[in-house]
Amino acid sequence: MDPDLIVIDEFHTLFSEHIFAADLLYFQQILLEWVKDPNKTVVACTATTTLPIKFINSCPFGSLEWIYDNFSPFKIRSIVKDQDPVYKIGEVQIEQGKSLETVLREFPSSSENKQLVFAKGKIDKLRDLACMDLSYSWLCSPKSNSRIDEIRACELMDQDHYRSLISGYLPDQINRIYLSSAYREGLNIFDPSVREVIIEGVTDIDIIQSLGRVRHDLDRVVIVIDKRKYSGIDKKVSDAINLLKSGKLESYFEIQEKQETEENIKSKVPILVYRDLKTNDLKFNVFALCY
């Protein structure tokens, strides 16, 4: 079948870290062909247009800006920057060089100012954060295999709180709820008492998907950025750009093949150079740069 209309749900996953996997390079090549074909219409669906534009349209590192300026035709920033958000954000605040714990102390929650907190890292971090106060709670995926003290985390989380949140509302008497990355998709919060979202993350995807969970106006979004992680990303992006500009794909491909051990695959090593299915030529994987 040769389709005229292609609808891609959860389009942002093309920009997530798992797109480095070799098995998705096949789909990416087909997708690029579809987009270039004037006889085909590609409709891309993602969480929301309610992005913190102030942050998404700015970036502290020149190499990342180079990527957004040169990567075509898929630009999340371009897709949304001219659209009027469905829901408004009163303020976007960027916190750099501070730990999440410090930021949480500086932005307290209350019954009039309930918060969603999207935290990165291990599940026990969520549990430890939530133990700070009786009005806090934490949730992980009900399918999570992560363990805390040898017990599955999903068995330790409050099941009543889970049922309340997936229905779109914060549990009673809970002012702040900590969520793992598993809740960045498929969850919609309609509870108007949620006035702030605090997001720990360094990529557009972290921010886009976390913010997309709330389906009403917000007073404030606080984005917590670890500058050390951002600097690490910047270095990798700079190296990739130099590889792209040098055109020395053959030698890099040979090194990459040697590095693709089982251990490296599990740690999501970027596949920057791949072999084209049609021409058998080596090509640069521009998708890897978007993460």
Contact between 201 and 227 (Cβ < 8 Å)? no
As to burial, measured by CB atoms within 10 angstroms (0-12 exposed, 13-18 middle, 19+ buried), residue 165 is buried
Q: Of 180, 163, 186, 181, which Cα lies nearest the Cα of 48?
A: 186
What does the pLDDT read at residue 164? 95
CA distance 137 to 177: 5
C-alpha Rg value of the chain to the nearest Å: 21
Beta bridge partners of 221: 92, 197
Pairing of strands 176-179, 136-139: parallel
- In order along its 291 residues, the chain shows pLDDT tens digits of 788 998 988 776 665 554 455 556 667 677 777 877 889 888 877 655 444 444 444 444 455 455 555 555 454 455 555 566 677 888 888 888 788 889 999 999 999 999 999 998 888 888 888 887 778 899 988 888 888 888 898 898 999 999 999 999 999 889 999 998 888 877 899 999 999 999 997 666 677 778 888 999 999 999 888 766 666 667 777 788 888 888 889 988 888 877 766 555 555 556 788 888 778 888 887 666 655
What does the pLDDT read at residue 36? 78
Structure-token match 């590889």, residue found: 243
Helices and strands per DSSP (H, E), number in the chain: 13, 12
Contact between 104 and 131 (Cβ < 8 Å)? no
Beta bridge partners of 274: 283
H/E segment holding residue 278: none
Chain centre distance of CA 180: 12
Contact between 134 and 190 (Cβ < 8 Å)? no
Structure-token match 């021409």, residue found: 279
Q: Domains along the chain?
A: 5-46+251-289 (no CATH), 53-61+81-228 (3.40.50.300)
CA distance 86 to 81: 13
Contact between 43 and 5 (Cβ < 8 Å)? yes
What does the pLDDT read at residue 269? 58
What does the pLDDT read at residue 50? 40
Beta bridge partners of 186: none
Structure-token match 């709820």, residue found: 177
pTM (predicted TM-score): 0.71
**Total Cβ atoms within 10 A of residue 75:** 15
Omega of the bond leading into 73 within 30 degrees of 0 (cis): yes
* 3-state DSSP assignment of residue 197: strand
The alpha carbon dihedral of 174, 180, 181, 187 has a sign of negative
